[in-house]
Amino acid sequence: MAILQIKNLHVTVETEQGTKEILKGVDLTIRSGESHAIMGPNGSGKSTLAYTIAGHPKYTVTEGEILLDGEDVLEMSVDERARAGLFLAMQYPVEIPGVSVSNFLRTAKTAITGEAPALRTWIKDVRGAMDALKMDSTFTERNVNEGFSGGEKKRHEILQLELLKPKFAVLDETDSGLDVDALKIVSEGVNRAKEANDFGLLLITHYTRILKYIKPDFVHVFVAGKIAEQGGPELADRLEAEGYDRYVKA
């Protein structure tokens, strides 16, 4: 049983107008096996939270802490965090010219587990996961995210989630830009990975439609840099009906 604790997290970013505080005291605890959904208006700081957990250098933590099984995550470099079991499926995955997907996946797997995977089982694992995500096998020969469609990029993120087997996964709008079929396939991928590895999930989304496939245990409403309300799955339905007006005005 692993536990990820975010306590009173304050985060700033440098802008041309000076330092700007984006996260204003976030408290959140996620345990293995739990699914948490975060919903909130554009610009409220959801991606900032995701990036800060992963350790993006652009964001500065001014107050608060992030603990993974009691270990200080903020002290770790980006790659140390990943090796400690944190995974971020990015809202906008970047292209890496000249680096093939197969090379990238093998390198990442080797880095995470500390040893190169046995070739035969690895190839089988990759192929199996790709088949399940309905990704063409030729993707392994292509360069990472280069020329991938929006939906293909998202599938590629979930492929990594399945193969790298983290303790905690943050999915930043993985459902955005997916057509109905892809949404189902990707959601099933997340559920499959979760079943296999029992990770704790933090799902950032704007839409309740993904919550039909991935059932959240908790729903958090994120407004102006912090969690404004928490509840169960029924909260998502209310948000869909009413929007964020009541929080924004409050």
Partner 1 sequence: MTTSNATVPAQHGMAEHSHGAGVPIQIRSARLRSADVADFGPVSRVEEQYRYITSERLAGLDADTLDEYIGDISIKHPEGVTTAWVGSDHPAFGGAGLPEDRPSAAAWGSAEQAYLVTIPGDAKPDCEVQIGINSETTTPSALHVIIDAKPFSRGTVILDHKGSAVLGENVEIIVGDEAEITVISIQDWDTEAVHNSAQFAKLGRNSKLRHMVVSLGGKTLRVSTSAEFTATGGDVELLGMYFADAGQYIENRLYVDHAVPNCKSRVTYKGALQGDKAHTVWVGDVLIRMAAEGTDTYELNRNLLLTDGARADSVPNLEIETGKIEGAGHASASGRFDDEQLFYLQARGINEREARGLVVRGFLNEIIQKIGNEEIESRLSASIEAELERSGS
Binding footprint of partner 1 on the chain (CB under 8 A): 54-57, 77-79, 81-83, 87-88, 90, 93-99, 103-104, 107-108, 111-112, 143-144, 160, 164
Closest CA to 199 of 158, 156, 150: 158
Tally Cβ neighbours within 10 Å of residue 94: 9
Using the rule CB under 6 A, is 205 a contact of ligand ATP?
no
Q: Which residues from 156-185 bind ligand ATP, rule CB under 6 A?
A: none
8 A C-beta contact, residue 140 and residue 126? yes
Between 43 and 232, CB nearer to Mg ion: 43
Residue 169 Cβ vs partner 1, minimum distance, rounded to whole Å: 12
8 A C-beta contact, residue 6 and residue 29? yes
Using the rule CB under 5 A, is 47 a contact of Mg ion?
yes
Q: Which residues from 135-154 bind ligand ATP, rule CB under 6 A?
A: none
Between 85 and 216, CB nearer to ligand ATP: 216
Q: Which two tokens stand for residue 144?
A: 């990472």
Residue whose Cβ sits closest to ligand ATP:
47
* The one-letter amino acid at 121: T
84 three-state secondary structure: helix
8 A C-beta contact, residue 204 and residue 46? yes
23-62 mask for ligand ATP (x: CB under 6 A)?
-----------------x-xxxxxxx---------x----
Number of residues that bind ligand ATP (CB under 6 A): 13
Q: Which residues from 64-83 bind ligand ATP, rule CB under 6 A?
A: none
Closest CA to 104 of 170, 17, 163, 165: 163
Closest CA to 215 of 239, 194, 230: 194
Using the rule CB under 6 A, is 13 a contact of ligand ATP?
yes
Residue 138 Cβ vs ligand ATP, minimum distance, rounded to whole Å: 31
8 A C-beta contact, residue 171 and residue 160? no
Between 50 and 101, CB nearer to Mg ion: 50
Out of partner 1, ligand ATP, Mg ion, none, what residue 22 binds, judged by CB under 5 to 8 A for its kind, is ligand ATP
Question: Residue 135: in which H helix or E strand, if any?
Answer: none
Residue 26 Cβ vs ligand ATP, minimum distance, rounded to whole Å: 11
Main-chain dihedrals φ then ψ at residue 11, nearest 5 degrees: -135, 135
Q: Which two tokens stand for residue 210?
A: 């993904």
Question: Residue 200: in which H helix or E strand, if any?
Answer: strand 200-204
Which residues contact Mg ion (rule: CB under 5 A)? 46-47
Point out which residues bind ligand ATP (CB under 6 A).
13, 15, 20, 22, 40, 42-48, 58
